[in-house]
A = this chain, B = another copy of it.
């Protein structure tokens, strides 16, 4: 497969709507759902740069989550329209850091903020260099 030449889109937003199954008996979205949404944000940020994550896996490049941090500010609720912004906040030889901001659509209340660090692995599960195109033109270091 062919990789894009260079990452050009550094930030991307997606719309989300909390599912009933994602709530808990406290009446709000369970906190373990946010990492799932963050992953969706990363996937769409990558796609905005011309690449599907499944094609990366198909090419033998895997990313695994090495670190996750979430600050929960306000509860998200069932069927609410939410907007998740995902951006690349750091790149090193074998790691990519993303940051996240989750807001309620239509007002600017921040529901959650977070970050994650992905490690790049080859098909044997060994840490490897991230594909060249993923380095932003002006590199930031994690």
Contact = CB atoms under 8 A, between A and B. Distances in A.
A25 B78 contact: yes
- Interface size range on A against B: 20 to 34
Nearest to A70: B68
Contact of A68 (B39, B54, B69, B78): B69
Contacts of A78: 25, 54
Interface in A21-64: 21, 23-28, 30-33, 35-36, 39-40, 43, 52-54, 62, 64
A54 B43 CA distance: 29
| Chain A binding surface SS class | mixed
A36 B19 contact: yes
Given A64-B72, A65-B72, A79-B54, A23 B25 contact: yes
